[in-house]
């Protein structure tokens, strides 16, 4: 595994967002629509969104009354979200910051009701980095809080295609993707109860994904 190649992904996404302002469209993802329902059912309001990209899910959450703290490692993505915040008047509901989540999160313990990320986990992270990230999300969530995330899975058509970059990482069209099995998801769930692991498809290819809902245990030994 060449970490220099993985580290270059930040600049690749920066260039991509600069050229394609609405790369993923403006409508919320199906994952966000279902996540909102789960957050509402649990009475959760203060959400950490990691890897928000251009903010299509962020603004959907805010329009439905959630307070969202956004993190993304693309400055272009964060700048675009901040512009939309001003235009749409969501300064009381959305806060956005450029941040590399391979570092410890700069939030206090049990600060958020929920966490959401759409395909963030399947970026160019090593398995050890994923364990560290999940541990940090666990730390900043309140007990009973939900961590909802989506990942491309090992039934996806791009799995084992392209350039192999180590572990379950493959590069295609310049993007390095970390693919997930159910076993990997279960290993990452320490401290959480697994409420569901749901298969779904997205896009014209289509991408094959898992939507994972984890709940931080109320009683922790």
- 8 Å CB contact between 105 and 162: no
- CATH of the domain spanning 3-216: 3.40.50.150
Give the rounded percent of residues in the chain with a pLDDT score beyond 70: 91
Torsion (CA) 142, 66, 133, 23 in degrees, nearest 10: 170
Cα-Cα-Cα-Cα dihedral sign, residues 120, 124, 127, 130:
negative
Contact present, 162 and 171 (Cβ < 8 Å)? yes
**Domain range list for the chain:** 3-216
| Residues 10-56 pLDDT 10s | 666 566 756 665 555 578 999 999 999 999 999 999 999 999 988 99
Task: Classify residue 144 as left (phi > 0), alpha (psi -120 to 50) or beta.
Answer: left
As a whole number, the mean pLDDT across the chain is 91
Report the DSSP beta bridge partners of residue 148: 116, 213
pLDDT of residue 204: 84
Q: Which residue has the higher pLDDT, 172 or 99?
A: 99
What's the pLDDT tens digit per position in 168-215?
Answer: 999 987 789 999 999 999 999 999 999 999 999 998 889 999 999 999
- Please state whether the predicted TM-score (pTM) of the whole model is above 0.85: yes
* 40 Cα distance to chain centroid: 19
């Amino acid at each position: 595994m060449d970490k220099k190649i993985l580290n270059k992904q930040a600049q690749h996404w920066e260039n991509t967002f600069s050229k394609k302002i609405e790369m993923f469209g403006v409508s919320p993802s199906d994952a966000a629509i279902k996540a909102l329902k789960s957050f509402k059912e649990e009475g959760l309001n203060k959400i950490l969104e990691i890897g928000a990209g251009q903010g299509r899910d962020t603004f959907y959450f805010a329009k439905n009354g959630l307070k969202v703290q956004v993190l993304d490692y693309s400055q272009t993505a964060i700048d675009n979200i901040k512009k939309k915040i001003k235009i749409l008047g969501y300064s009381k509901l959305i806060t956005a910051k450029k941040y590399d989540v391979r570092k410890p999160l700069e939030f206090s313990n049990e600060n958020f009701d929920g966490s959401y990320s759409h395909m963030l986990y399947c970026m160019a992270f090593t398995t050890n980095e994923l364990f560290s990230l999940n541990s940090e999300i666990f730390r900043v969530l309140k007990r009973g809080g939900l961590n909802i995330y989506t990942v491309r899975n090992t039934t996806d058509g791009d799995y084992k295609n392209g350039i192999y970059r180590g572990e379950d990482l493959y590069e295609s069209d310049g993007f390095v993707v970390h693919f997930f099995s159910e076993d990997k998801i279960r290993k990452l769930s320490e401290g959480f109860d697994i409420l569901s692991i749901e298969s779904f498809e997205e896009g014209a290819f289509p991408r094959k994904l898992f939507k994972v809902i984890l709940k931080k245990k109320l009683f922790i030994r």
